[in-house]
Structure 1
Amino acid sequence: MRHIYRCPLRWADMDAYGHVNNVVFLRYLEEARIDFLFRPDKEFKQGSVVARHEIDYKRQLVHRHEPVDIELWVTEVRAASFTLAYEVKDGDLVYVRASTVIVPFDFEAQAPRRITAEEREFLREYRDPAEDSETGGKAVAA
């Protein structure tokens, strides 16, 4: 299953050419990630930090008043980190493909922590079976 975030575009997001600035896409990914991880029903209560971003710009996004869709899903869950993948898109038109490695973090102890059983179960709901690291990348029947 994928999480879909409808991301509004802001006038200040565009560069001198009228396109959404490449740096702004990182903020869009952050907004989608927050929408995914910090919901009233399920959340990473102790917090998390970004360990790594990878972003591939596929085409320019021209500023407009309509939001853009960001699809987000989980590609890997490890003991103390997980990886999210994203596509910023309109239908089949993809502007950006990206991934982020997230590390759960205990801000009180100022240290990384392991993923809890509850968090692991939540993340598994958004796994892409074709990218399942626990099965060596092979899809598994549920």
Structure 2
Amino acid sequence: MQVADQSGLPRIGGVFSCVMPLRWGDLDALNHVNNTLYFRYAEEARIHLFAAAGIVLPSARVGVLAHASFDFLKPLLYPATVVISLVLTRLGRSSMEFEVLVECREDPGVVYAKGRNVMVGTDSATGKSLAWTPDELAGFAPCFVA
């Protein structure tokens, strides 16, 4: 079910999910996923979101990460398949804010880490924030499902 409203905007609360295999090399000396990798998983999910919205990078529009945080709730162990969910919590003129949930496909419903990302759309040439165009918003809208 898609959550785009009739205005063509992505609806707050919609979820974009990205699935990726956990790699053995992601483990640290304690044999669990190193905390820094959670940020990389969220980065990969954001790149997949842009591609799904039709914004293939590099382009005139880039997304700059303005804020990233995580609370680590349970260690991810190898082997596993990671599910990263970006829950749209705020849509600004040139920004998007997400709650980021890290889960394991083999352990459905259990959140291993929870975080927050704020991404600002910018002009790749100037680095200045750039308002989302109606076409970009329409591209993002079907990416977020209930």
Q: Distance in 1 between matches of 2:139 and 2:22?
A: 29
Q: Distance in 2 between matches of 1:109 and 1:68?
A: 35
93, 110, 134: which is aligned to 2:127?
Answer: 110
Q: Give the SS at the match of 1:112.
A: coil
Maintained 8 Å contact 2:16/2:145: no
Unmatched 5+ residue regions in structure 2? 1-13
Q: Distance in 2 between matches of 1:119 and 1:72?
A: 17
Q: Distance in 1 between matches of 2:115 and 2:81?
A: 18
Q: CA deviation at 1:123?
A: 3.7
Q: Distance in 2 between matches of 1:99 and 1:83?
A: 7
14, 28, 31: which is aligned to 1:18?
Answer: 31
Q: Which runs of 4+ in 1 moved over 4 A?
A: none
1:62 corresponds in structure 2 to 77
1:43 corresponds in structure 2 to 55
91, 94, 106: which is aligned to 1:80?
Answer: 94
TM-score by length of 2: 0.77
Seq. identity, %: 28
* Cα pair distance change 1:76/1:123, threshold 3 Å: farther
Q: Give the SS at the match of 1:68.
A: strand
Q: Give the SS at the match of 2:102.
A: strand
Q: Distance in 2 between matches of 1:92 and 1:20?
A: 19
The answer to whether the aligner puts 1:53 opposite 2:68 as a matched pair is yes
**Higher relative contact order, chain-length normalized (CA < 8 Å, sep 6+):** 2
CA RMSD of aligned residues (A): 1.9
Q: CA deviation at 1:120?
A: 2.5
2:8 corresponds in structure 1 to none
Maintained 8 Å contact 1:55/1:99: yes
Q: Which amino acid aligns with 1:119?
A: E
Q: Distance in 2 between matches of 1:96 and 1:108?
A: 34
User: 30-39 or 20-29: which moved more?
Assistant: 30-39
TM-score by length of 1: 0.79
Q: Distance in 1 between matches of 2:138 and 2:87?
A: 14
